[in-house]
């Protein structure tokens, strides 16, 4: 099946072309990959697995430091 998307701004098309080039794919192949991944149910499974891991860590009682300040400091460099 064919799909047509009109009126994408130049900045978006340029970014998509760069992404395709970095992936060593044509623009069409890259767009197809993006759309297939976005439409797949795999993301739901991935988030469910992440939720399970987070819950296990929470129940373990182990404390993790907040890295927000470190990330901000690194970004400000």
Distance CA 77, CA 72 (A): 9
In a domain, 39, yes or no: yes
In a domain, 5, yes or no: no
In a domain, 2, yes or no: no
In a domain, 3, yes or no: no
In a domain, 1, yes or no: no
What's residue 62's pLDDT? 83
**Over its length of 77 residues, how does the chain's per-residue pLDDT go in tens digits?**
899 999 999 999 999 999 999 999 999 999 999 998 888 877 788 888 899 998 998 899 888 888 898 899 999 98
In a domain, 4, yes or no: no
Does residue 16 contact residue 31 with C-beta atoms inside 8 Å?
yes
Q: ∠ CA(14), CA(19), CA(23), 5° rounding?
A: 145
Range of the domain at 70: 10-76
Report H helices in the chain: 10-22, 27-39, 42-60, 68-76
How many structural domains does the chain have?
A: 1
What's residue 42's pLDDT? 77
What's residue 45's pLDDT? 82
């Amino acid at each position: 099946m064919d799909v047509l998307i009109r009126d994408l701004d130049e900045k978006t098309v340029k970014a998509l072309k760069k992404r395709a080039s970095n992936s060593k794919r044509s623009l069409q192949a890259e767009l197809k990959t993006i759309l297939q991944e976005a439409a797949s149910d795999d993301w739901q499974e991935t988030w469910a697995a992440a939720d399970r891991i987070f819950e296990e860590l929470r129940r373990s009682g182990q404390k993790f430091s907040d890295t927000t300040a470190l990330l901000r400091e690194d970004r400000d460099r």
